[in-house]
Amino acid sequence: MATANSFLRVGCLVGLLGMDPASGLPTAPAGDASPKRWNVVLVMTDDQGAWTMGAYGNRQCPTPNMDRLAREGALFTNAFTVTPLCSPSRASFLTGLYPTQAGISDVLYWSLMKGWLPPKDYEREIRRGLDSGTVTWPELLQENGYATALVGKWHLGVQKEHHPTLHGFDYYFGPYLAGVLDLANPVLQENGEKQTYDRFMTDVFTDKAIQFIERNRERPFALVLATQVPHSPWNKVPQEDLKPLEGVELTLPSARSDFGDGEERLRTFTRNYLGLVRTADRNLGRILQSLKTQGLDDRTIVIFTSDHGFMMGHRNLIGKGTATYYAGGGFGPRRMNMFDDSIRVPLLVRWPGVVKPGTRISQTVSNLDWFPTLLGMLEVPRPADLALEGLDMTPLLRDRTVPWRDALFGQLDVERNGFALMRMIRTDRWKLVRFHLPLMMDELYDLENDPGETRNLYRNPEFRQVREKLQGRLTQWQNAIQDPVFKVEKAVHGK
Amino acid sequence: MATANSFLRVGCLVGLLGMDPASGLPTAPAGDASPKRWNVVLVMTDDQGAWTMGAYGNRQCPTPNMDRLAREGALFTNAFTVTPLCSPSRASFLTGLYPTQAGISDVLYWSLMKGWLPPKDYEREIRRGLDSGTVTWPELLQENGYATALVGKWHLGVQKEHHPTLHGFDYYFGPYLAGVLDLANPVLQENGEKQTYDRFMTDVFTDKAIQFIERNRERPFALVLATQVPHSPWNKVPQEDLKPLEGVELTLPSARSDFGDGEERLRTFTRNYLGLVRTADRNLGRILQSLKTQGLDDRTIVIFTSDHGFMMGHRNLIGKGTATYYAGGGFGPRRMNMFDDSIRVPLLVRWPGVVKPGTRISQTVSNLDWFPTLLGMLEVPRPADLALEGLDMTPLLRDRTVPWRDALFGQLDVERNGFALMRMIRTDRWKLVRFHLPLMMDELYDLENDPGETRNLYRNPEFRQVREKLQGRLTQWQNAIQDPVFKVEKAVHGK
| Chain B residue at shortest CA distance from A442 | B116
Closest partner CB to A316 (pick from B332, B491, B495):
B332
For residue A65, the SS3 value is helix
What residues does A365 pair with on adjacent strands?
A79
Chain B positions touching A325 (Cβ under 8 A) are 325, 327, 332-333
- Whether the bond between A451 and the residue before it is cis, its omega within 30 degrees of 0, is no
CA distance B88 to chain A (A): 15
At A332, phi and psi to the nearest 5?
-110, -155
B214-238: pLDDT as tens digits: 999 999 999 999 999 999 777 789 9
Helices (H) and strands (E) in chain A, counts: 14, 20
* Cα–Cα distance, A489 to A403 (Å, whole number): 35
* Cα–Cα distance, B429 to B246 (Å, whole number): 39
Chain A positions touching B485 (Cβ under 8 A) are 495
Number of other CB atoms surrounding residue A90 within 10 Å:
28
| Chain B residue at shortest CA distance from A441 | B417
Nearest to A380 by CA among A209, A142, A219: A142
Chain B positions touching A117 (Cβ under 8 A) are 439-440
* Cα–Cα distance, B462 to B379 (Å, whole number): 48
pLDDT of residue A23: 60
Chain B positions touching A332 (Cβ under 8 A) are 257, 316, 325, 327, 332-333, 335
* Class of residue A77 by CB neighbours under 10 A (exposed 0-12, middle 13-18, buried 19+): middle
Closest partner CB to B333 (pick from A109, A113, A334):
A334
Whether residues B316 and A330 touch (CB distance < 8 A) is answered with: yes
* Cα–Cα distance, A257 to A314 (Å, whole number): 11
At B417, phi and psi to the nearest 5?
65, 20
Nearest to B309 by CA among B282, B281, B346, B272: B346
Q: Looking at this predicted complex, what is its ipTM?
A: 0.90
Digits of tens for pLDDT over chain A (495 positions)? 334 333 333 333 333 444 555 566 655 444 444 457 999 999 999 999 999 999 999 999 999 999 999 999 999 999 999 999 999 999 999 999 999 999 999 988 777 788 888 888 888 888 899 999 999 999 999 999 999 999 999 999 988 899 999 999 999 999 866 544 577 778 888 877 888 899 999 999 999 999 999 999 999 999 999 999 999 777 789 999 999 999 899 999 988 899 988 999 999 999 999 999 999 999 999 999 999 999 999 999 999 999 999 999 999 999 999 999 999 999 999 999 999 999 999 999 999 999 999 999 999 999 999 999 999 999 999 999 999 999 999 999 999 999 999 999 999 999 988 999 999 999 999 999 999 999 999 999 999 999 999 999 999 999 999 999 999 999 999 999 999 999 888 888 765
B266-279: pLDDT as tens digits: 999 999 999 999 99
Chain B positions touching A441 (Cβ under 8 A) are 417-418
Closest partner CB to A327 (pick from B328, B435, B441):
B328
- The mean pLDDT value for B108-131 works out to 85
Whether residues A258 and B330 touch (CB distance < 8 A) is answered with: yes
- Our CA angle for A78, A84, A86, nearest 5°, is 120
- How is domain A6-401 classified at the CATH fold level? Alkaline Phosphatase, subunit A (3.40.720)
Whether residues B329 and A257 touch (CB distance < 8 A) is answered with: yes
Chain A positions touching B113 (Cβ under 8 A) are 439-440
B86-109: pLDDT as tens digits: 999 999 999 999 999 999 999 887
Chain A positions touching B109 (Cβ under 8 A) are 440
Chain B positions touching A419 (Cβ under 8 A) are 419-420, 435, 437-438
| Chain A residue at shortest CA distance from B414 | A438
Kindly compute the dihedral angle of the four CA atoms of residues A207, A209, A215, A220, in this order, to the nearest 10 degrees.
-160
Nearest to A415 by CA among A321, A348, A292: A321
- Three-state helix/strand/coil letters over chain B: CCCCCHHHHHHHHHHCCCECCCCCCECCCCCCCCCCCCEEEEEEEECCCHHHCHHHCCCCCCCHHHHHHHHHCEEECCEECCCCCHHHHHHHHHHCCCHHHHCCCCCCCCHHHCCCCCHHHHHHHHCCCCCCCCCCHHHHHHHCCCEEEEEECCCCCCCHHHCHHHCCCCEEEECCCCCCCCCCCCEEEECCEEEECCCCHHHHHHHHHHHHHHHCCCCCEEEEEEEEEECCCCCCCCHHHHHHHCCCCCCCCCCCCCCHHHHHHHHHHHHHHHHHHHHHHHHHHHHHHHHHHCCCCCCEEEEEEECCCCEECHHHEEECCEEEEEECCEEEEEEECCCHHHHECCEEEECCCCCCCCEEECCCEEHHHHHHHHHHHHCCCCCCCCCCCCCCCHHHHCCCCCCCCCCEEEEEEECECCCEEEEEEECCCEEEEEECCCECCCEEEECCCCCCCCCCCCCCHHHHHHHHHHHHHHHHHHHHCCCCHHHHHHHHHCC
Whether residues B493 and A316 touch (CB distance < 8 A) is answered with: no
Non-local (6+) Cβ contacts of A346 within 8 A are A48, A49, A50, A52, A53, A55, A56, A66, A79, A304, A305, A306
The β-bridge relationship of strands B420-426 and B408-414 is antiparallel
Query: Residues B128-162, buried b or exposed e (16+ Cβ, 10 A)?
Result: bbbbeebbbbbbbbbeeebbbbbbbbbbbbbeeeb
| Chain B residue at shortest CA distance from A325 | B332
H-state helical runs in A19-177: 64-72, 86-95, 99-102, 119-126, 137-143
Whether residues B109 and A440 touch (CB distance < 8 A) is answered with: yes
CA distance A329 to chain B (A): 5
* Cα–Cα distance, A238 to B68 (Å, whole number): 67
Chain B positions touching A485 (Cβ under 8 A) are 495
Query: So what CATH class is A419-493?
Result: alpha beta
Whether residues B491 and A491 touch (CB distance < 8 A) is answered with: yes
Residue B346 has pLDDT above 70, yes or no: yes
The β-bridge relationship of strands A79-80 and A365-366 is parallel
pLDDT band at B179 (very low <50, low <70, confident <90, very high): very low
Q: Which of B128, B258, B442, B468 is the mutation pick for testing A, counting most A CBs within 10 A?
A: B258
The β-bridge relationship of strands B330-336 and B322-327 is antiparallel
Residue B260 has pLDDT above 50, yes or no: yes
* Cα–Cα distance, B353 to B452 (Å, whole number): 37
How many contacts (CB atoms, under 8 Å) link A and B?
A: 168
More confident residue, B144 or A120: B144
* Cα–Cα distance, A106 to A118 (Å, whole number): 20
* Cα–Cα distance, A317 to B332 (Å, whole number): 9
B33-66: pLDDT as tens digits: 445 799 999 999 999 999 999 999 999 999 999 9
Q: What is the DSSP letter of A308?
A: S
Closest partner CB to A327 (pick from B115, B257, B458):
B257
Q: Domain spans of chain A?
A: 6-401, 419-493
Q: Which of B101, B108, B325, B443 is the mutation pick for testing A, counting most A CBs within 10 A?
A: B325
Q: Identify the helix (H) or strand (E) that includes residue A187.
A: strand A187-190
Chain A positions touching B331 (Cβ under 8 A) are 257
Chain B positions touching A120 (Cβ under 8 A) are none
Q: Which of A116, A263, A422, A440 is the mutation pick for testing B, counting most B CBs within 10 A?
A: A440
| Chain B residue at shortest CA distance from A255 | B330
CA distance B120 to chain A (A): 13
Give all strands of the β-sheet with A430-435 in edge-to-edge order. A408-414, A420-426, A430-435, A443-446
* Cα–Cα distance, A266 to A271 (Å, whole number): 8
Whether residues A439 and B330 touch (CB distance < 8 A) is answered with: no
What residues does B336 pair with on adjacent strands?
B322
CB A274 within 8 Å of CB A231: no
Whether residues A414 and B261 touch (CB distance < 8 A) is answered with: no
Whether residues A334 and B332 touch (CB distance < 8 A) is answered with: no
CA distance B95 to chain A (A): 20
Chain A positions touching B314 (Cβ under 8 A) are none
Whether residues A491 and B487 touch (CB distance < 8 A) is answered with: yes
Whether residues B116 and A327 touch (CB distance < 8 A) is answered with: no
H-state helical runs in A309-444: 340-343, 370-378, 394-397
Residue B182 has pLDDT above 80, yes or no: no
Whether residues B331 and A257 touch (CB distance < 8 A) is answered with: yes
Whether residues A116 and B417 touch (CB distance < 8 A) is answered with: no
Is the CATH number of domain B6-404 3.40.720.10?
A: yes
* Class of residue A89 by CB neighbours under 10 A (exposed 0-12, middle 13-18, buried 19+): buried
CB B340 within 8 Å of CB A339: no
Number of other CB atoms surrounding residue A137 within 10 Å:
24
At B312, phi and psi to the nearest 5?
-125, 70
pLDDT of residue B495: 53
Chain B positions touching A333 (Cβ under 8 A) are 325, 332-335
- Our CA angle for A101, A107, A113, nearest 5°, is 130
DSSP-assigned states of every residue in A434-490: EESSSBS--EEEETTT-TT-----TT-GGGHHHHHHHHHHHHHHHHHTT-THHHHHH
